[in-house]
Amino acid sequence: MRISSRDRVLGGIALIGTSALVLAGCAAAPAPAPTPTISTVAGFLPCLVSDLGGFDDKSFNQLAYEGVNDAAAAAGVKAVTVQSKVETDYAPNINSLVSQGCSLIVSVGFALSAATVTAALANPKVQFAIVDDAADNNFDGKTDAPNIKPILFNTAQAAFLVGYSAASSSKAAKVATWGGMNFPTVTIFMDGFAQGVDYYNKQKGASVKVLGWTGDGATSTFTGGFAANATAKSTAQNFIDQGADVLLPVGGPIYKSAAAAITDSGKSIALLGVDADLFVTDPTVQPILLTSVLKGIKEATTAVVSSAAAGNLTFDPYVGNLRNKGVGIAPFHNFESKVAPTLQGEIDTIKAGIIDGSIPVKSYLS
């Protein structure tokens, strides 16, 4: 399987200054290590560096943080974790972890790809893993360093199920999706979602319209970043003004801005989550949450760190999909009584069809 690289908009890698090496979250004395429950190689030290969302983003950074710490606890060690505040933190943060003797460094998000590859090539004895990126900056279908483990997710499959659910639940026959930035790991959700809506239209003879996604990242809608800010809120408000009544924002915290726009509108509009089940991770959105596209970041990260702790990590890419339960769809929770009585059965049938190949879902990981 050829795993494509992703288009990136990254700034230059900052030079490492003395002050950059004094990082919040890294200087505190480690807590006593728990009793190990797995066999751990001597001196194993797992480490983690976040993307800009931080470890409390209710999304992929938080899930990776939980996964690394769970695996560390099982190995009887204390993980070292550091958060990135701006893009120029990436390289200094990773190099700081190298200097602290980390055995495995997990970086979270495609934006850290260039810094991760540079560090991996410079430190061939250190193991690396990266969430949501193939570490293929050379555009040749191969990981750019032999000591990097890509952790990838074919979320188009799960987003297909959510798109079908959204189309079934839309009273206005208009749904919307938009992203933080035009990266493949963002647009894979949007494209899968649109494919699911299209499948619903074909199966039901309906004409539910998708706003925000044109089929081309260059002409689709993005907020320009992953912050919950005025731009993210106005983007959501624009789709509400156009009549969309089911919204899928893709980009970590930008869902918070969409939730605020929904609340301010006073209209009956449903929100869709990505990565984690927002019903669980952020109870404030429970009243408006239809369902979420699940990405098993916590489970995959736990497995990778546990393999490294046991001394048997391999560097072939992990690709989560519906078959291996690396992606999925969350329950309808409070909307269970509001969706069509047949919807859950239809979703189960479609899921089986995607798994056996009778219902194709296109993505760059297919």
Q: What are the sequence ranges of the domains in the chain?
A: 19-153+298-320, 155-295+336-356
Residue listed under structure tokens 């069509």: 340
Of residues 128 and 109, more confidence is placed in 128
pLDDT at 95 over 50: yes
Q: Do domains 19-153+298-320 and 155-295+336-356 have the same CATH topology?
A: yes
pLDDT at 366 over 90: no
Mean confidence (pLDDT) of the chain: 90
Note the pLDDT tens digit of each residue in 269-322. Answer: 999 999 989 999 999 999 999 999 999 999 999 999 999 999 999 999 999 999
Taking 3-state DSSP, the helix, strand and coil percentages for the chain, each rounded to the nearest 5, stand at 40, 15, 45
Highest CATH level, class, for 19-153+298-320:
alpha beta
44: pLDDT confidence band, cut at 50, 70 and 90? very high
Note the pLDDT tens digit of each residue in 188-210. Answer: 999 999 999 999 999 999 999 99
Mean pLDDT of 229-238: 98
CA dist., res. 232 & res. 187, Å (int): 16
Strand ranges, E, within the chain: 46-49, 80-82, 104-108, 127-131, 148-153, 174-179, 209-211, 246-250, 270-275, 289-295, 318-320, 327-329
**Is 0.85 topped by the overall pTM?**
no
The reported pLDDT for the residue numbered 38 is 58
The reported pLDDT for the residue numbered 59 is 79
- Whole-number Cα distances in Å, 163 to 116, 118, 200, 354: 33, 38, 8, 14
Mean pLDDT of 27-36: 46
The reported pLDDT for the residue numbered 25 is 36
The reported pLDDT for the residue numbered 58 is 79
The reported pLDDT for the residue numbered 252 is 86
CA torsion through residues 198, 199, 202, 207, sign: negative
The reported pLDDT for the residue numbered 250 is 97
The reported pLDDT for the residue numbered 102 is 98
DSSP per-residue letters across 196-264? HHHHHHHHHT--PEEES--S-GGGS-B-SSSS-SHHHHHHHHHHHHTT--EEEEESTTHHHHHHHHHHH
53: pLDDT confidence band, cut at 50, 70 and 90? confident
Task: Supply 65's token pair.
Answer: 């943080």
Task: Supply 361's token pair.
Answer: 């879902």
Mean pLDDT of 3-16: 34
Highest CATH level, class, for 155-295+336-356:
alpha beta
Using CA atoms of 311, 316, 319, 323 in order, give the dihedral in degrees to the nearest 10: -80
Percentage of the chain surpassing pLDDT 90? 81
